[in-house]
Amino acid sequence: MRRSFVAALMIATLVPLARAAATGEAAKKKAAVAAAEAWVKLVDHGRYGASWKEAATYFKGAVTREQWEQMLNGARAPLGKVGSRRVTSATFTTHAPGAPDGQYVVVQFDTSFAHKKSAVETVTPMLDKDGKWRVSGYFIR
């Protein structure tokens, strides 16, 4: 009888903790996706310098504003205007390749551009030192 009581008590304690963890992760994903969407709009409007300024501290330490603007002028500008974009996934992780451990959400968008009808944009916001989600990586495939 005592064993059943202990097991029931453990389950009653762990279930709310698991729900709280899932809720916390969902809130992080939602905030990170919102940050990613706002950030790609800067890129969509050719505001490459502003996208660098709004990026994560880690990102700005890895590439200068001038380098970033050159990269986007070469890779993003030729694609033309965005026709459509939709989030296909958002994955929370504490590890990102080549980056320090932290809190990241890898957001993937299916995107259509004027000159590339089908692309996958991967935008990776991280929780920055100031407590805000800021983009630390951007890739188009």
pLDDT band of residue 24 (cuts 50, 70, 90) is confident
Rg, Å, the chain Cα set: 19
Nearest Cα to Cα of residue 139 among 102, 83, 98:
98
Nearest Cα to Cα of residue 66 among 82, 48, 83:
48
For the chain, give every domain's residue range: 2-140
pTM: 0.83
Is residue 94 scored above 90 in pLDDT? yes
What is the four-CA torsion angle of 27, 29, 33, 34, rounded to 10 degrees? 10
Can you give the pLDDT at residue 61? 96
Enter the tokens of residue 105: 């959400």
Q: What is the DSSP letter of 25?
A: H
Mean pLDDT of 20-37: 86
Is residue 35 scored above 70 in pLDDT? yes
Please give the C-alpha separations between residue 74 and each of 21, 78, 141, in angstroms, as whole numbers: 41, 7, 14
Tens digit of each residue's pLDDT (9 = 90 or more) over 54-90: 999 999 999 999 999 999 999 999 999 999 999 999 9
Q: Length of the chain, please?
A: 141
Give the range among 17-21, 124-128, 137-141 with minimum mean pLDDT: 17-21
Contact 118, 110 (CB under 8 A): yes
Mean pLDDT of 86-98: 94
Q: Does domain 2-140 have CATH number 3.40.50.10440?
A: no
Contact 119, 112 (CB under 8 A): yes
Can you give the pLDDT at residue 22? 54
